[in-house]
Amino acid sequence: MRECGILLPVASLPSPYGIGAFSKEAYEWADALKRAGQGYWQVLPFGPTGYGDSPYQSFSAFAGNPYFIDLEQLIAEGLLTKEECDQADFGPSRRYISYDRIYYERFPLLRKAYERWKRNMAGDEGEENGKAEYTDRIQAAVHRLSEERLIRETREYCFYMALKDHFQSKSWYLWESDIRLRKPEAMESYRRLLSDDIGFYEFQQIKFEEQWQALKAYANEKGIRIIGDIPIYVAFDGADSWCHPELFQFDEENLPKAVAGCPPDAFAATGQLWGNPLYDWGYHRETGYEWWIRRMEYSLRMYDVVRVDHFRGFESYYSIPYGDPTAEFGHWEKGPGISLFEALERHFGAELPVIAEDLGFLTQEVRTLLKASGYPGMKVLEFAFDDTEASGYLPHNYSENCVVYTGTHDNDTLAGWFDSLSEKDQSFAREYAGSLCVPQKELPWQFIRLALASPARLAVIPVQDYLGLGTEARINEPSTLGKNWKWRLLPGEVNEELLEKCRRMAKIYGRLPVLQRPSGRRSCRGCLRSL
């Protein structure tokens, strides 16, 4: 079955409150995807973000970004007023997110909502407000609800964030040693001290999950499946590494022995120093990959299909001594290989809906691992056109078992990419696409056609490419800070004419979703596994 979808992070949706959210605009986007003949919406990771605003450096692998909570729904529930939300300053631009304004304005609003939510839980007992026993009773009720609604790891994140606030946003390795090392008496003391602050974060996650599950159900009813990401690594400044140091290559002080990155190459003379803690794969193997199974369970509640980031790191990973200023002196270590994916399939079954991000320099060992897993890999058109004219990313070289992208969140837009090519590569790209005489502003559609016409069973196109936007609409430029993850759609920018054109392209190239075809055949969640 051939299908197609559109890549658009939730943060990039329009909304009146500074950042895309699970708001009416998201529901309208699901409707638009259906009218456009799409079967998938790729949203990227959902984790709460910190410094740098990257969803690939999250405070937890088991929590959602509170920025996505729809304020208008909180208004409808009586937890906020429209006046309170309208008075907040979320920044001057509808096109670009102002994360500093979002941070300083959104959390006070969510705190107000939390206080009213607690009073609603109190009911007739609210007149006792201010009494210690009342406060204790309400906080206990909040924590009980959290235990009912949230998994253990999500609640651990809530405790972590309350502690992080208490220590003026410092990373956990700078906290006082008793709590940094999770000594039982310190853990209990801080749980009591920060009970209400923990409840505030529990409230955020409860609302995040309520709203997302409603939106996801709506999209699924429309025949739209959600693709989300699992970044291979977690952040050092995060709940996962603080709560479970046994999962990582840490010393007796719970500091990393080594960290992740990439070796020097033509693009980075000193390599890339990511700084993420590395997994103790021996421990994971001994525990039957229990943590990874839990992570996949959580991800499959959030998404219908999971794109596993940096797949090659499961075969071999680059290990850099902790404290090194560059990635120059790292070395390669063997990862878990096929044993991890065999454990996942024993637990979830053979129809695990996974896409493997197998981009970058691939060894034969990585190719063998990908083939053994059975997962579809990725092809990116922007990687295809160089002066060798023999790239494996050229569409005629694809197999069916892959997902083709014109570009990913880490690439420039098609228009921006084409502008950056040498004259020789531009000429070859035009020749390959049969577009020697096509005006440059129309070229993105020529490459979109190449993706849709390719043998790949799934084609995913960033919305910027359908709009023909340039570099100003790029989502992320790796190894840079300050300009990423900010771009947003404007209201009405995706119009009915564009949606009809998308649908026509999907039909021409045999990619209309099964649910939208006259035959009445239904698709299954695991159909991607057969790619």
pLDDT along the chain (531 residues), means of 10: 97 96 98 98 95 92 98 98 96 95 96 95 60 84 95 98 97 96 98 97 98 98 97 96 98 95 85 94 98 98 97 96 96 97 95 93 93 96 82 93 96 96 94 93 96 98 98 92 93 97 97 62 43 45
Catalytic residue among 309, 315, 412, 465: 309
Residue 269 in tokens: 């003379």
Our answer to whether residue 86 is catalytic in this structure is no
Question: What distance in Å separates the CA atoms of residue 241 and residue 249, rounded to the nearest whole number?
Answer: 10
Pairing mode of beta strands 305-308, 272-277: unpaired
pLDDT of residue 66: 98
What is the per-residue DSSP string for 132-165? HHHHHHHHHHHHHHHHHHS-HHHHHHHHHHHHHH
Instruction: Tell the burial category of 248 from Cβ atoms under 10 Å away from its Cβ (0-12, 13-18, 19+).
Output: buried
Alpha carbon distances (Å) from 67 to 259, 324, 378 = 29, 34, 29
Q: 256 forms bridges with which residues in the sheet?
A: 250
E strands, 201-357, are 225-230, 258-262, 272-277, 305-308, 316-321, 331-334, 354-356
Question: 52-82 b/e with 16+ CB inside 10 Å = b?
Answer: ebbbbbbbbbbbbbbbbbbbbbbbeeebbee
Task: Report pTM.
Answer: 0.94
Pairing mode of beta strands 225-230, 305-308: parallel
Asked if 356 contacts 375 with a C-beta cutoff of 8 angstroms, the reply is yes
Instruction: Tell the burial category of 418 from Cβ atoms under 10 Å away from its Cβ (0-12, 13-18, 19+).
Output: buried
Question: What distance in Å separates the CA atoms of residue 340 and residue 285, rounded to the nearest whole number?
Answer: 8
Question: What distance in Å separates the CA atoms of residue 293 and residue 299, rounded to the nearest whole number?
Answer: 10
Residue 384 in tokens: 């295809």
Residue 343 in tokens: 């454990």
pLDDT of residue 21: 98
* Identity of the residue numbered 170: K
Our answer to whether residue 357 is catalytic in this structure is yes
Catalytic residue among 25, 156, 357, 358: 357
Instruction: Tell the burial category of 23 from Cβ atoms under 10 Å away from its Cβ (0-12, 13-18, 19+).
Output: buried
Question: What distance in Å separates the CA atoms of residue 386 and residue 391, rounded to the nearest whole number?
Answer: 8
Our answer to whether residue 410 is catalytic in this structure is yes
Asked if 434 contacts 453 with a C-beta cutoff of 8 angstroms, the reply is no
pLDDT of residue 181: 96
Residue 171 in tokens: 């990373």
pLDDT of residue 128: 52
Residue 177 in tokens: 């040693």
Question: What distance in Å separates the CA atoms of residue 161 and residue 111, rounded to the nearest whole number?
Answer: 14
**263 contacts: CB under 8 Å, gap ≥ 6:** 271, 318, 327, 328, 330
**438 contacts: CB under 8 Å, gap ≥ 6:** 430, 446
Catalytic residue among 210, 410, 419, 425: 410
- Counting Cα atoms < 13 Å in the Cβ hemisphere of 252 gives 0
